[in-house]
Amino acid sequence: MSETPATLGAAGADRTGGVPDAVGTPSSLPATPLLSRIHRPADLRGLTSDEIEALAAEIRRYLVATVARTGGHLGPNLGVVELTLALHRTFRSPRDTIVFDTGHQAYVHKLLTGRQDFSRLRERGGVSGYPSRQESIHDVVENSHASTALSWADGIARANHLQGRDRHIVAVIGDGALTGGMAWEALNNIADSADKHLVIVVNDNGRSYAPTIGGLAHHLDALRTNPGYERMLSSVKHTLLSQGAPGRAAFDALHGLKRGLKDILVPSAFFEDLGIKYTGPVDGHDETAVEFALARARDYTEPVIVHVITEKGRGYTPAEEDAADRFHAVGRIHPETGLPVVPSRFGWTAVVAEELLALARADKRVVGITAAMQQPVGLQPLADALPDRVIDVGIAEQHALTSAAGMAFAGLHPVVALYATFLNRAFDQVLMDVGLHRAGVTVLLDRAGVTGTDGASHNGMWDMALLAHVPGLHLAAPRDEATLRQAVRDAVDVDDAPTVVRYPKGSLPAPLPAVRTVGEDDGPFGAVDVLLDTAGERPVLLVGVGAMAENALDAGRSLTAEGVAVRVVCPRWPVPVPDALVELARAASGTVVVEDGLVEGGVGSQLRDAVEDASLADGVAEVPRVARLGVPRRFLPTATREQLLADFGMDRAGICAAVRRLVNPDTAPDGRG
């Protein structure tokens, strides 16, 4: 668990606290003479105020230059530079525990805890994009799902108290994450215990991905922007600073009086009625002010909320001018302009956005629901065209699904659009509120399957194995643009059962047309497309599920060239397993299923069980073999999607090897026999 920094390249340092539009060339990185001296958080405490300001500028410049090369969460980290410096100057990590909610704002924390080589950020063998216990003893929570930090902090604080440890716990949570119900469950319990050294930092930038919504957001906005408070503070500041050194000394003392001024002008009862002390709002880009507020909170013997106002994308003009999400997450960009190095191709999400807007215009019952991710999941075009037909519930997936069940009961057809990994948070609601009540709710799962570089908790690999347990639910796994559009239309046509459409991250493949289709007599849910059919009485059946159809087809063509009889198919709706697919597997010499979801309990497992059940029912003694290629049941390391698929034998070479082993069990893994 290293705390040793890497040596960085050369360029000048700007002491203004901002970042110039040009932040280095592809062959160089900006110089970081101050940052290079920081081997561990303790090294920060000997710096002067001027040095801290210069260090903040170095960090911003370095973040822009490095993230521009690799992609990553740029905007959130530019917004927490001073806050993170103040945290590590006030508290003693790792003795004191700092928990970052979501974790996408932890790049600055990584830099200050000895991880200063971002050349392979979010790549295999490099620094991960979220906190990682494998990287550092300063990292605690690796899960990048929002609204959990307060529960972690509550648990750690209670354990410390019971074991007699005199240590502080700091939970850094954004205003967006506070829209999640779990955060309020934790606050309810935190307020019930007054003996904890617990500090809650609300990093309030008015956004999660996009601007934060809901009643809490409106209240925080009132605290943030109260004109009386701002006028009073501005007037006092101007008066004192105009009086030279004595006035500056008095203004420094004013940081301790801010609470009193705020109490007069902006009541803090919203938080204090919970039984938790509140201080703020504090300017999150005034390191001295933040440090002062944190020190006061640290010295208090009960839970304290420190409300810090920050600006996402701070100091980098392209991010500050990006109204959509302030460069929340970017691919590789030109640092001078913020423009992408490689323009994004038309992707799966864009197709869904078009199709959903067309469906909503044709059917007034169709409404979209998002959990604080309106733009990333493709609901923005619908919200722009029909704003009253999109509901953003905040980071509250459980509420989204149960609310959708209520809308379906009342005559609407809700379409809930989520990243696949976040559906895990609402499985009970899918099962008991949507499934049990046979609610006509469609769930669109963006970024399904292996996503890779976002780390273990962002892979959308759990859905097919989980959702197969919901009676009556149908899940589509389209393979290209045409099947994606058709799947969305078919899903929204269903009003008496839940439907799910899953699709991966990124750009679309070339069209993968079917040579014929079987099972259409059973309706869209029974259709299985045949993509390749070579001669042979009992060919090997190669099943490519959804996005894996392209790799399966490539492997099928290679095997055909080797003289192996292969039939490549893609079920449009693989959950539950279509009857036509079962019969194709029973007629084959063997079957290989390739899916970018859990291999245990996934489509391959379900097909294997169905083939066995059908064979036993018919009295057939010899059950055809079904081999499965998929994601193993473990948390995946950071790597590209392509690297992980190759690791699991799900690329062309791996699929060919699996078919050879099926045809000839004595074949070696490399296929040479």
Query: 24 — alpha (psi -120 to 50), left (phi > 0) or beta?
Result: left
Q: Are 564 and 668 in contact (CB under 8 A)?
A: no
Identify the CA nearest to 379 among candidates 359, 350, 405.
Answer: 350
CATH number of 35-226+278-321: 3.40.50.970
Q: Are 610 and 602 in contact (CB under 8 A)?
A: no
Quick check: 249 pLDDT over 70?
no
Q: What is the mean pLDDT of residues 249-265?
A: 47
Binding residues for Mg(2+): 175, 205
pLDDT at residue number 268: 56
pLDDT at residue number 257: 45
pLDDT at residue number 340: 80
Burial (Cβ within 10 Å: 0-12, 13-18, ≥19) of residue 326: buried
pLDDT at residue number 232: 47
Q: What is the mean pLDDT of residues 69-81?
A: 90
Other CB atoms within 10 Å distance of the CB of residue 176: 28
Q: Phi and psi at residue 608, in whole multiples of 5°?
A: -55, -45
> Residue 602 is encoded by which pair of tokens?
């996934």
SS (H, E, C) 34-69: CHHHCCCHHHHHHCCHHHHHHHHHHHHHHHHHHHHH
Other CB atoms within 10 Å distance of the CB of residue 241: 12
Q: What is the mean pLDDT of residues 372-401?
A: 92
Q: What is the mean pLDDT of residues 580-584?
A: 96
* CA distances (Å), origin 636, targets 329, 503, 662: 21, 19, 27
> Residue 470 is encoded by which pair of tokens?
């919901």
Identify the CA nearest to 147 among candidates 425, 432, 443.
Answer: 425
Burial 613-633, CB ≥16 within 10 A → b, else e = ebbeeeeeeeebbbbbbbbee
- Listed in sequence order, the residues at least 6 apart from 649 whose beta carbon sits closer than 8 Å to its beta carbon are 629, 655, 657, 658
Q: Phi and psi at residue 419, in whole multiples of 5°?
A: -70, 145
pLDDT at residue number 21: 34
pLDDT at residue number 669: 54
pLDDT at residue number 253: 52
Q: Which of 123, 397, 481, 595 is catalytic?
A: 397
Other CB atoms within 10 Å distance of the CB of residue 670: 9
Binding residues for thiamine diphosphate: 104, 144-146, 176-177, 205, 316, 397
Quick check: 141 pLDDT over 50?
yes
Distance CA 14, CA 315 (A): 12
pLDDT at residue number 64: 92
Picking from 6-10, 146-150, 277-281, 612-616, which range would have the lowest pLDDT averaged per residue?
6-10
Q: Beta strand 626-631 with 590-598: parallel, antiparallel or unpaired?
A: parallel
Q: What is the CA radius of gyration of the chain?
A: 27
Quick check: 586 pLDDT over 60?
yes
- Listed in sequence order, the residues at least 6 apart from 512 whose beta carbon sits closer than 8 Å to its beta carbon are 479, 480, 483, 531, 549, 550, 553, 570
Q: Which of 223-227, 326-330, 640-644 has the highest mean pLDDT?
A: 640-644
Quick check: 6 pLDDT over 50?
no
Element (H, E) at 156: helix 149-162
Q: 3-class SS at 485?
A: helix
pLDDT tens-digit readout, 154-207: 999 999 988 888 899 999 998 778 888 888 888 888 888 766 789 999 998 865
Picking from 120-124, 214-218, 403-407, 504-508, which range would have the lowest pLDDT averaged per residue?
214-218
Q: What is the mean pLDDT of residues 595-610?
A: 95
Q: Quickly name the fold that domain 347-502 has.
A: Rossmann fold (3.40.50)
pLDDT at residue number 317: 84
Quick check: 51 pLDDT over 90?
yes
Quick check: 11 pLDDT over 60?
no
Q: What is the mean pLDDT of residues 247-259?
A: 51
pLDDT at residue number 237: 56
Other CB atoms within 10 Å distance of the CB of residue 10: 11
For all residues of the chain together, what is the average pLDDT?
85
Quick check: 5 pLDDT over 60?
no
Q: Are 542 and 521 in contact (CB under 8 A)?
A: no
Quick check: 54 pLDDT over 80?
yes
Q: Beta strand 366-370 with 413-419: parallel, antiparallel or unpaired?
A: parallel
Quick check: 516 pLDDT over 70?
yes
Q: Beta strand 540-544 with 590-598: parallel, antiparallel or unpaired?
A: parallel
Distance, first Cα to last Cα, the chain: 43
Using pLDDT thresholds of 50, 70 and 90, give the confidence band for residue 446: very high
Q: Which of 69, 425, 479, 628 is catalytic?
A: 425
User: Which DSSP category does 395 fall into?
Assistant: S
Whether 312 is catalytic: yes
pLDDT at residue number 532: 96
Whether 277 is catalytic: no
Residues forming CATH 3.40.50.920 domain(s) in the chain: 526-663
- Listed in sequence order, the residues at least 6 apart from 508 whose beta carbon sits closer than 8 Å to its beta carbon are 345, 346, 347, 348, 351, 480, 481, 484
Binding residues: 104, 144-146, 175-177, 205, 316, 397
Q: What is the mean pLDDT of residues 624-653?
A: 92
Burial 276-304, CB ≥16 within 10 A → b, else e = bbbbbbbbbbbbebbbbbbebbbeeebbb
Using pLDDT thresholds of 50, 70 and 90, give the confidence band for residue 139: very high
Entry pTM: 0.83
pLDDT tens-digit readout, 454-506: 878 888 899 999 999 999 999 999 999 999 999 999 999 999 999 999 999 88
Using pLDDT thresholds of 50, 70 and 90, give the confidence band for residue 271: low
Q: What percent of the chain has pLDDT over 90?
A: 56
Q: What is the mean pLDDT of residues 626-655?
A: 92
Q: Tell me the residue type at 317.
A: T
Q: Which CATH class is domain 526-663?
A: alpha beta
pLDDT at residue number 195: 66
pLDDT at residue number 146: 84
Residues forming CATH 3.40.50.970 domain(s) in the chain: 35-226+278-321, 347-502
Q: Are 365 and 358 in contact (CB under 8 A)?
A: no
User: Which DSSP category does 424 fall into?
Assistant: G
Q: 3-class SS at 411?
A: coil
- Listed in sequence order, the residues at least 6 apart from 268 whose beta carbon sits closer than 8 Å to its beta carbon are 223, 262, 278
Whether 185 is catalytic: no
Distance CA 202, CA 217 (A): 12
